[in-house]
Structure 1
Amino acid sequence: MKIFFSVGEPSGDQHAAHLIEELRWRIPNLEACGYGGPEMRAVGCDVHFQLTDLAVMGIARVIPLLSKFIRLAKDAERFFKEERPDAVVLVDFPGFNWHIAKRAKAAGIPVFYYLPPQLWAWGSWRIRRVRKYVDHVLCGLPFEYDWYSARGVNAEYVGHPFFDEVAGKTLDTGFIEGQHQPDRKVVGILPGS
């Protein structure tokens, strides 16, 4: 079985690498390939292009890279027609991944969106794209399943990899208790992707 992955952000690279490992455990003959990063490559994915190097936000930073993104989308389209992977798995990075989904769907290849864009928070109008180009959404948060399902999307709650990562960790209760002082404020910093 051959699965093409399209992953454009470092956090997605990490999550996709874990997914590839899990899939390999269940599907020993899995061939993972596509666009991603060093974490995916480390677990044996044939990374055609290190897309995580192009992880940018904002139109001003995207414009100089537009020709590269267009070429990568066309390369993926050619790959879909010639190699016929069994599935395409997208991980976040919607600005680019919508183009990959459209091309995979046109080639008749099932499209899965793992940890989909947070349309419930912003850009809910893009749900039409999900219904049109994505066959199955694999939700990381329980309420996402409800949100996508209520909008006619074939969705499934699979859990978020972050919770798996922290499940085995133990808290330093002494440190935490030492921080609780009435005259001090504690600030939590929770970086995203």
Structure 2
Amino acid sequence: MEFFDHPAVDELKPFFRYLGKNWLRVKEAAGDLTESEQFLLGGAGEALLQHIENELNPAKSYKMAVLSSLVEKEADAEGWGIDEIARDFKKFYLQNRRYLADYTEMARSSNPNDYPVSKVRSHLIKMPLNYLADNEHKFFRLDTGEGKFYLKKGEDGVNHRLWNQPDFKMLLRDRITYALKTYFYRKEKQVIIR
């Protein structure tokens, strides 16, 4: 947990990559897996966690802001409404003012509280939702016609079942938090270097 909580130890990543392709495999190599984590190895749960850890590579905080909202919701075949995601996305930046500058358009608004949710929705469709769902092999799907964003069911609905389990949500939250902290740590480090 200290690793996830302190992005400044990012220099240890090559060591962890040597031990395993994701954090679960590192814990396996260290003999430190919980029973629920052991169950995830080799399946959809490990693949989804690895996707968030290693494949999203945020260029902005947007994808993680979306995921931090979605992890608090249940996943099912109905998906999540884009309008609801837009409200949560705006709320994320208003509640985390230290991150607000990353959402440039809203930060430049004379009053970010009054920034229109319709603009947030348009932004979401172009940027994070589209990128989260930009490949048929990814875990998410965007349907702008229906105004929905989906977690793909996976084999026998396994992705939905996993997403809704408290232990798995905790693992998702850890990775989302780490990705946000790492992103902003690197961004601040770049500003200092300049």
Q: If the length of structure 1 is used for normalisation, what is the TM-score?
A: 0.25
The structure whose residues are more often helix, as a share, is: 2
TM-score by length of 2: 0.25
**Higher strand proportion (structure 1 or 2):** 1
Which structure exhibits the higher relative contact order, with contacts defined as CA atoms closer than 8 Å and separated by 6 or more residues? 2
